Structures are given as C-alpha cells and as structure tokens.
Structure 1
Amino acid sequence: WLDHVKIEQACLRLTFEEYRQSIRETQERIKRYDQAIAQEAQASAHAPLIGAMQALRGVAVLTATTMVSEFMDMSRFPTAGAFMSYCGLVPSENSTGDSRRQ
C-alpha cells in the first residue's frame, strides 16, 4: 500500500522515496546473502552436518549453517535433545522454593 501514498511536499516525498529505496536495496542484499549461504552450505565440507541439523524442528539452512559454524564438534552432545536443550530450543523449568525460572 506504500505505492499509493501521495506526499505533496517535494522534500518530504524525496525523503520518503529514499527510505523506501534503502529498504528495497537491503531486502535484495539479504536475498543475495541467503543464496550465497545456501550455495556454500551445499558445497562445504560440513554439508552433511548442515543437512542433518535441518532435520531438527524449526531449523532451516541459515540457522543450521550458523549452528555448525558455532558448534563444529557435535560429539560433545550425546543426543539431539541435549543439543537442542543447549541451544535453548526446548522449554525447561528450574524451580526451587518460591523461585521459579522457566
């Protein structure tokens, strides 16, 4: 609907259009980054691990690539659940007495 916004004052219209152009350029840059990351994830030596990470609920290529780059050695996690818990992807609660932490 922003295409239909009419601004009378030239300086305000120019500023508005410059902001919109900046948003479009940023969106295009993000698309290029996402494509480059996806291509690199497939060609990488870590492609099998990146693919396996995507089997986790809610994890796509960008998240999987980020996680693999952060946690290269997955052997320290005995199960997928332990890894997901470490990353904060599963809910947990630690309560004692009047203290409650979720």
Structure 2
Amino acid sequence: MSDGLEYEPKIADVYRPVAKKPSKARTLTEIRSIARSHTRTAVNVLVGIMRSSDATPAARVSAANAILDRGWGKVAQQIENGEDGVLELIHRIERIIVHPEPAVAPESGADV
C-alpha cells in the first residue's frame, strides 16, 4: 500500500486524541450557590405578592405559605395510625430517645 511514499502514517498517528473543551455543566454546589444568591430578591417578590391587592387570593395564600415554610419549616403531616400500633411505638421512641425528659433526682429517704 505504499504508493511511492517513504513514510506511511499509522492509525495512531492520524487519530490523536483531541483535548476536550471544558464542560459548561455546573455542579450541584454551584447551582445551589447561585440560587441562594437570589434568596433576598425571591423573598421580597413573595412578600410583594402576598401584600398585593391586585394578586388573586390563591396567589397571596401561596406566597404566604411559601414564606412561612422558608422561615419556620413545613408543618409535620399526620400519619394515620393503623391497628398495628406502629405509630405509638414511633412516638414512644421519639419521646425516650429524641426528647428525653430531664432526670429528676429521687427525694431523700424514698425507696427506689
């Protein structure tokens, strides 16, 4: 296959890897940072909608709920309790482990 050429290029010489362009994809951390930089403006817009007499009542309520959720957290949703008593067990574990009552010192002379 040499047509009078002294050097025949090999496949490796012809197909060299090309440097890739840097990706424009942003990481999740960058996206969060950008979104958080607009927090004050977003809250001001929500407050403006909530206070606006031109906004529909549904929009005003939605804005008020969004503000409350951001400021105070979402309200815990109740879980319907079945017959198995699992919910009571979860609440008992929470009372004992997560929110234990302060230990009360026994009164002097009392049998423990």
The TM-score, its normalising length taken from structure 1, stands at: 0.30
**Structure with more contact order per residue of length (Cα contacts < 8 Å, sep ≥ 6):** 1
User: Which protein has the larger Cα radius of gyration, Structure 1 or Structure 2?
Assistant: 2
Larger relative strand fraction? 1
The TM-score, its normalising length taken from structure 2, stands at: 0.28
Larger relative helix fraction? 1
